[in-house]
Amino acid sequence: MSQHTARFVLRHTRAAYQSLLERAAQHYHERPDADAVIFVPSGNAPHKPISYRAFFDNAARYAATLRGIGIGRHDLAILVMDHSEALLYAFWGALMLGAMPSIFPFLSDKLDPALYFERVRLLISHSGAKVVIASAQYAESLAALNTGVPIVNEAALQPSEGAPHFNFEVRGEDIAFLQHSSGTTGLQKGVALSHGAVLNQIASYSEAIRLREDDCIVSWLPLYHDMGLIAAFVLPLVQGIPLVLISPHHWVRDPKVLLHAISQYRGTLCWLPNFAYNFLAQRVRDNALEGVSLASMRAFINCSEPMRAESHRQFAARYAPYGVKLEMLATCYAMAENTFAVTQGGIDSLPNIDLISREALSAQHVARPAREGELAVEMLSCGTPIPNCAIQIVDEARQPLPERHVGEVAVRSDSMLSGYYRRPDLTEQALFNGWYLTGDYGYIADGELYITGRKKDLIIVGGKNIYPQDLEAIASEVEGVKAGRTVAFGVEDERLGTESIVMVCEAETDDEDARFEIARQVRMRVAQQTEVTLGDVYIVDAKWLLKTSSGKIARGANREKYLRERNGQA
C-alpha cells in the first residue's frame, strides 16, 4: 500500500467511524469471505481459517446470550478464559452490544489456583461487573465465589440464528473495553479506553508502521496484555489485515511454531517482548527450520519490556540464513494508558544505538555520549512519537527538562485513557494539564526517546541512580545462571544510611560449590562493568522468581520473598 493509501486509511478511520463496531460491520458486509483470523491450535490439529462472516456470526452467539440476561451498553463483562477461539468471540460479542469486555489473565501452571480465583473475586466486586464469561474448566470455581454475578459457561452457548446485530448507538466517547495493569497482588487499575481513542490509536499506529493492504500479522501474544490485544488482535480486525494467531502456551513449548507460521503465511509484522529474541535465538535447532523462510517480514517489533541491542544482534545473526536482516528489527514504546504505542522506531531505518556515559547517567542524571575509555551504557532508541502523540521529559516538579536530561516520561495524545475505571483518585495522580505521567524514566536525544528504567524500580546508592535491568542483564550472562531469570533490587541498609543492592539469580545447578562460584562471578562482572558493588548475591532454584500476570519479573514481590527467606535464615 502506498503512503497515499496509508494516509487514506488514517483519515478514513478517524472521519467515517464513531465506533469499532461500524468498522467491523463494514468488513462483515463488504468482504465476508476474506480471512479475518487463521487460528493455529496446539498439537497437530489443522490450522483454522476464519472468515469475517464466520468470525462475527460466532461472536453473535455471545452477544445474543448476554442480551438474554440483560447485558447491554456500558455494562462490564469480565472474560476469564483460556487463549482460544472462544475468547476472540466473547470479546467481540460483548463489544457488539456496546458492553465493555475486560480480559483477565488465564490461569497458568505457575499460579496458585486459590489466589487466582480470589483475585477474580476482588475484581468482580470492585469493578461492578455485570457478567463473567468463563472457559468451561473455570465455571465451577467461579460460581463457588458467590459474587451474585451471572457466570456464562462458554461451553453451553448455542449457535444463534440470523445476521449479527452491531449496536450503532455506540458513540466515540463510550468506553470500548478495559485493559488492566499487571501485577502479583491483583489487577488494580482498569484502564478505560473509549472507541474514539482506540480508533485514533489504530489510525496513527497504522501510519507509523506503514501498514499495507498486503500485510499479514503473526502473533503468539496473550490478549490480556496491550501489545497482544491491540497490535495483534484489535488492529488487524479493524483494518482488515489477516491475523495468524498462536496460543502463548503453544509458543513457549514449541517456539519454532511462530517461525513456521511466518513462513507458511508470508507474515510481514510480528511484535515480540525483548526476551523472545533471546529465547528464539537459543531454543530453536536448525533441524527444526527445514524449508523455513522469514524473508517476507517487514518488521519484528520489540516492545513491552526494556529493549537491548544485543538481543537484536543475536536474533539477526541466528536467523540470517533464513532471510532475517537487521533492518527488519524495529522498536516501540507502548502502554495501555495510551491504548498501545507511544513511539515507533526502525520502520524506515535502523533504530539508533546511543552509547552514553554510565557515570554521567548515574551521578548527574544526564545521558552524555561516552568518551573513549569510559564505561558506557548501550541505549536502544524507542523511536519518535506516532502521529498525534507528544512526549516530554519532566522533573519531580513536573517541569520540562532539556534534551539528554533524565526524568519521567510524560505523554499526551488523542488515544489516551478516559481514566482508571472507578478510580478517580488514581486518574488524578497520573494526569496533569492533559499529560499522562508514565512512571518510566528516560531522555530524548535528536527527537528520539530512550527509556532508562522504571521510576519505582530505581535503586539509589550514595546519591547515584542505579537501573536494575542493567545489572540483571550482566548477571544473566554468567555461566550457570538461567538467562533472563535474575532480579536486582535495593534493600535499606541502616548501618550505611543508604540502599544495598541485592541480586537474586536462578541457577542451573544445585551443587553448593558451583553456586558459590556463580555468585562470585556475578559480583565480579557487575563490579567490572558498572563499578557497582552488590550487597548480596542470592542463588536460588529454578522457578523461584515471581512474575507478574504479563510475564515480567516482579521486583517488589521478589524483594519481599527474599527478605522473608533471609530473615528466616538469620
| pLDDT 10s digits, 547-556 | 876 667 888 8
Q: Residue 71: helix, strand or coil by DSSP? A: coil
Sign of the alpha-carbon dihedral angle for 304, 309, 315, 320: positive
Confidence grade of residue 570 (pLDDT, cut at 50, 70, 90): very low
Residues with Cβ within 8 Å of residue 163, at least 6 apart in sequence = 57, 60
Say what the pLDDT of residue 54 is.
96
Report which secondary-structure segment, H or E, holds 219: strand 217-219
Backbone angles phi, psi at 337, to 5 degrees: -65, -20
Confidence grade of residue 3 (pLDDT, cut at 50, 70, 90): very low
Asked whether residue 539 carries a pLDDT value surpassing 90, the answer given is yes
| Mean local confidence (pLDDT), 547-569 | 82
C-alpha dist (Å) from residue 142 to 13, 115, 343, 405? 39, 12, 39, 49
Asked whether residue 101 carries a pLDDT value surpassing 80, the answer given is yes
Distance from C-alpha of 504 to C-alpha of 542, rounded to nearest angstrom = 11
The alpha-carbon radius of gyration of the chain (Å, integer) is 24
Given the DSSP bridges, would you call strands 459-461 and 407-413 parallel, antiparallel or unpaired?
unpaired
pLDDT digits 0-9 by tens, 206-255: 999 999 999 999 999 999 999 999 999 999 999 999 999 999 999 999 99
pLDDT digits 0-9 by tens, 269-299: 999 998 899 899 999 999 999 999 999 999 9
The answer to whether 403 touches 391, Cβ cutoff 8 Å, is: no
pTM for the complete prediction?
Answer: 0.86
Q: For residue 554, give the C-alpha cell.
A: 516482579
Q: Residue 137: helix, strand or coil by DSSP? A: helix
Distance from C-alpha of 387 to C-alpha of 503, rounded to nearest angstrom = 40
User: Which amino acid appears at position 247 of this protein?
Assistant: S
Domains and CATH numbers, the chain: 3-253 (3.40.50.980), 458-569 (3.30.300.30)
Say what the pLDDT of residue 515 is.
96
Q: DSSP assignment, residue 228?
A: I
Distance from C-alpha of 240 to C-alpha of 24, rounded to nearest angstrom = 9
pLDDT digits 0-9 by tens, 469-492: 889 989 999 999 998 899 999 887
Q: Of 333, 310, 352, 324, which Cα lies nearest the Cα of 442? A: 333
Distance from C-alpha of 54 to C-alpha of 305, rounded to nearest angstrom = 35
Confidence grade of residue 378 (pLDDT, cut at 50, 70, 90): very high
Say what the pLDDT of residue 8 is.
35
Q: Of 195, 152, 162, which Cα lies nearest the Cα of 62? A: 152
| Mean local confidence (pLDDT), 409-425 | 96
Say what the pLDDT of residue 106 is.
83
| Mean local confidence (pLDDT), 537-541 | 96
The mean predicted confidence, pLDDT, of the chain is: 91
